[in-house]
Amino acid sequence: MTLLAVSNLHCGYGADEIIHGIDLSVGEREVVSILGPNGCGKSTLVKAVLGYVPVTSGSTEFFGRKVNGWTAEAIMELGIGYVPQLENVFKPMTVHENLEMGGFRLPRHHLETEIARIFAAFPLLAERRRQPAGTLSGGERQLLAMARALMVAPKLLVLDEPSAGLSPIKVAEVFEQIERIVALGTAVLLIEQNVAVALSISSRAYVLAAGKVVFTGLADEVLDEDRIREAYLGEQRETRGTV
């Protein structure tokens, strides 16, 4: 089943069009990466899909429903979780309180059940449940942001640069958790600068440049395309497989 279907999407800020006719899809239990250099429009594309940036033409469908013109809140209620790159946790609040915020619409008796489910899936967070989020490491805050987004059991989780600012060890921990999330039934749309690690968990990828898709295919096909790696991803064949 196709969870997300984007067709000929155009969007931008005012008269400045950033995204020029992009097609994109994500299926059930699939990890799809959006790759490309800084400034190519990756985050703008996702924000348009989620209702944060106005769409000038084209269409977006979630679960078979066209959502053009819907608010971001209404789109999220269809079953989509979103973790932005920056300011993605409530730092003064504890880990437990952050999860409560993620499930604030749930009935109280159901809220604690969902928090218990999340702690079972994120044991590190369970150990730190009373710790203020602002005192966590960068990797731990990223895990908390993902956990909070999962409180309402979304079918699709959108992650914007989850490896940003993290050490290689913490990047590995975060991406291992992403794989576990997918194994439990949630599809992931991933914006990422760390090409090797993103493709290592992805089934497919879209490579953007100047607001357009310049290459799309299976993850291995992107790794095997030297022209794409060198021109748009800033990598050479010799670096393949490094994280």
Model pLDDT, residue 243: 34
pTM, 2 dp: 0.91
Model pLDDT, residue 235: 52
241 pLDDT above the threshold of 50: no
Q: Which residue has tokens 């908390």?
A: 144
Model pLDDT, residue 229: 66
What domains can be seen in the chain, in order of their start residue? 2-86+154-239 (3.40.50.300)
Return the structure tokens found at 70.
């819907």
Angle at 142 between CA 178 and CA 241, to 5 degrees: 50
239 pLDDT above the threshold of 50: no
> Burial letters for 4-42: b for 16+ Cβ neighbours within 10 Å, e otherwise?
bbbeebbbbeeeebbbbebebbbeebbbbbbbbeeebbb
Q: Which of 49-58, 153-162, 214-223 has the lowest mean pLDDT?
A: 214-223
Q: For residues 18 and 43, is the Cβ–Cβ distance under 8 A?
A: no
42 pLDDT above the threshold of 60: yes
Looking at residues 203-222, what average pLDDT do you find? 94
14 pLDDT above the threshold of 70: yes
- Residue whose C-alpha is closest to residue 87's, from 41, 134, 122, 130: 134
Model pLDDT, residue 145: 97
Looking at residues 81-101, what average pLDDT do you find? 94
Maximum distance among all Cα pairs of the chain, rounded to whole angstroms: 54
Q: Which amino acid is at 78?
A: L
H and E: helices and strands count for the chain:
10, 10
Q: State how far the Cα of 115 lies from the Cα of 119, in Å rounded to an integer.
A: 6
Return the structure tokens found at 85.
């790159």
